[in-house]
Amino acid sequence: MDYKTIDEIYDFNKEASEKLCDALSDLSTEERKMRFEDEKWSIEEIVEHISIVEEGMAKICRKLLRKAREEGTGGPSKVSISEGYRNKSVEIATLKVEAPEIVHPTGTRTIEDSSEKMAQNQLLFDEIRPMFNEVDGIEMKFPHPFLGPLSAQEWLLLSGEHKIRHIGQIKRVLTKARQ
């Protein structure tokens, strides 16, 4: 989808969060912890991973927007998702990617713990939302291990896309668990 406003990206991310809640709504204790040979993490660990990554993305967005403010990069920009991001997003959707060690789950958080962390992450995203309308959110970049240098706008979009990617993984694990 082509996003024209930051509000549209925030709406997409909210919808992704709601879909995640729906996917987790009726899990048994066993289903939460099941791990299959072809899946590295249990559903509980996937949700913990999402919460860890999401926190990092919120902090990266805040850092990039603050830097843009400090450097006086001008007023808000139109949403601009680079062709490189779009191409790599399509490519990564078909790959099984190994997450960096720093965002691996510890296996010590419950889904409820991770959900609470995601609620805190949402507060971070809500806190920086006005900044997207105050400064240019596309000039400053921070590198992603696979996607390359991303703007604050791209990191914001990626937070929802990352959640959607893992909802698919959760559904695969759940299908195996319920066979």
Query: For the domain that residue 153 is a member of, what is the CATH number?
Result: 1.20.120.450
Inside any domain, residue 96:
yes
Q: What is the overall mean pLDDT for the chain?
A: 93
Q: Are 84 and 18 in contact (CB under 8 A)?
A: no
Inside any domain, residue 60:
yes
Inside any domain, residue 83:
yes
Q: Which residues form the domain of 77? A: 6-102+112-177
Inside any domain, residue 1:
no
Structural domains counted in the chain:
1
pLDDT tens for the chain, residues 1 to 179: 789 999 999 999 999 999 999 999 999 999 999 988 888 899 999 999 999 999 999 999 999 999 999 988 777 778 999 999 999 988 888 888 888 899 999 999 999 999 999 999 999 999 999 999 899 888 899 999 999 999 999 999 999 999 999 999 999 999 988 88
Inside any domain, residue 107:
no
Inside any domain, residue 163:
yes
Inside any domain, residue 159:
yes
Closest C-alpha to 144, from 81, 109, 100, 174: 100
Q: Are 150 and 158 in contact (CB under 8 A)?
A: yes
pLDDT tens digits, 6-43: 999 999 999 999 999 999 999 999 999 998 888 889 99
Closest C-alpha to 89, from 11, 3, 176: 3
Inside any domain, residue 136:
yes
